[in-house]
Amino acid sequence: DIQMTQSPSSLSASVGDRVTISCRASQSISSYLNWYQQKPEKAPKLLIYAASSLQSGVPSRFSGSGSGTDFTLTISSVQPEDFATYYCQQSSATPLTFGGGTKVEIK
């Protein structure tokens, strides 16, 4: 199975800060990497697919980069509505696997 490791597990940020979340795969997954945002009591929401493609309707302050084993989600200027938990997920092979999540909190 492909293991996905996210870091950090949590972070505190102020509105307007640049936020970076890392995700590492245990083996190469090319660009088969997706990012989701989840707010409490809600279903996950797709932000980025294929490592760097922005899902329709998602603000351009979100961006993704990377390939192979190392990936990054960046929020260029975090807004109040961005405080949530973020998950990476590999779609290279079944079983599909998610990272452990990164909780972005207000400083």
Partner 1 sequence: EAQLVESGGGLVQPGGSLKLSCAASGFSFSASDMHWVRQASGKGLEWVGLIRSKPNSDAAAYAASVKGRFTISRDDSKNMAYLEMNSLKTEDTAVYFCSRHYYAGNYYYFDLWGRGTLVTVSS
- 57 is an interface residue for partner 1 by CB under 8 A: no
Give exposure, 60-77, as e/b (b: 16+ Cβ within 10 Å).
eebbbebeebebbbebee
49 binds partner 1 (CB under 8 A): yes
The answer to whether 59 and 52 have CB atoms below 8 angstroms apart is no
Closer residue to partner 1, CB minimum distance, 69 or 92: 92
Minimum CB–partner distance for residue 48 and partner 1 (Å): 9
- 8 Å CB contact between 86 and 102: yes
Q: Which of these segments, 17-25, 31-39, 59-67, 68-76, binds partner 1 (CB under 8 A)?
A: 31-39
Beta strands in the chain (DSSP E): 4-7, 10-13, 19-25, 33-38, 45-49, 53-54, 62-67, 70-75, 85-90, 97-98, 102-106
- Residue 86 Cβ vs partner 1, minimum distance, rounded to whole Å: 11
Number of residues that bind partner 1 (CB under 8 A): 26
Residue 11 touching partner 1 (CB under 8 A): no
Which residues are at the interface with partner 1 (CB under 8 A)?
1, 31-32, 34, 36, 38, 42-46, 49-50, 53, 55, 87, 89, 91, 94-101
